[in-house]
Amino acid sequence: MNKQTLFEVAEDSPCHGNGWCFLREYSIYMGLDRTVMQFRLIMDYRYLLGTKLNREVKDEEAAKFWVREGFAKKFAEVYDTNPNISHQELKDKLFNQ
C-alpha cells in the first residue's frame, strides 16, 4: 500500500477512541498487532534518540539503532510473554530501565 492510499483510507475511517476503525480492524485481522506495536515503539525511540543526539533521526536509522542497542530483543522478550500489554507499559519496560 502506498502512502497516498494509506492516507485516503485513514481519512475515510479515522481512528478515534474505541469506535470502528478500518486500519485497526485490518491490523487485527492480518495478525499485525505485534508489528504495529513494535513500529510504534521504534517511532517513540526515534524521537528519544533524536533528542539525545540533538538532530533529526530518520526511520531507517532509528530501526538500525533499535536492533543494535538490543531493543528488538527486549521487545520480543516482553511482548511474547504478555501480548496484551499496553503501549505505555511496553515503553516503560523498554525505555525506563
68 and 82 fall within a common domain: yes
26 and 38 fall within a common domain: no
Provide the domain count of the chain. 2
Three-state secondary structure string covering the chain = CCHHHHHHHHHHCCCCCCCCCHHHHHHHHCCCHHHHHHHHHHHHHHHHHHHHHCCCCCHHHHHHHHHHCCHHHHHHHHHHHCCCCCHHHHHHHHHCC
Predicted confidence pLDDT, tens digits, the chain (97 residues): 677 887 787 777 777 777 778 877 888 788 788 898 999 999 999 999 999 999 999 999 999 999 999 999 999 999 999 989 999 999 999 998 5
How many other C-beta atoms can be found within 10 angstroms of the C-beta atom of residue 46? 20
Range of the domain at 97: 33-97
How many other C-beta atoms can be found within 10 angstroms of the C-beta atom of residue 55? 8
60 and 83 fall within a common domain: yes
User: Whole-angstrom Cα distance, residue 97 to residue 10?
Assistant: 35
Residue at 39: amino acid letter:
F
86 and 43 fall within a common domain: yes
Closest CA to 94 of 37, 28, 33: 37
63 and 85 fall within a common domain: yes
pTM over 0.85, yes/no:
no
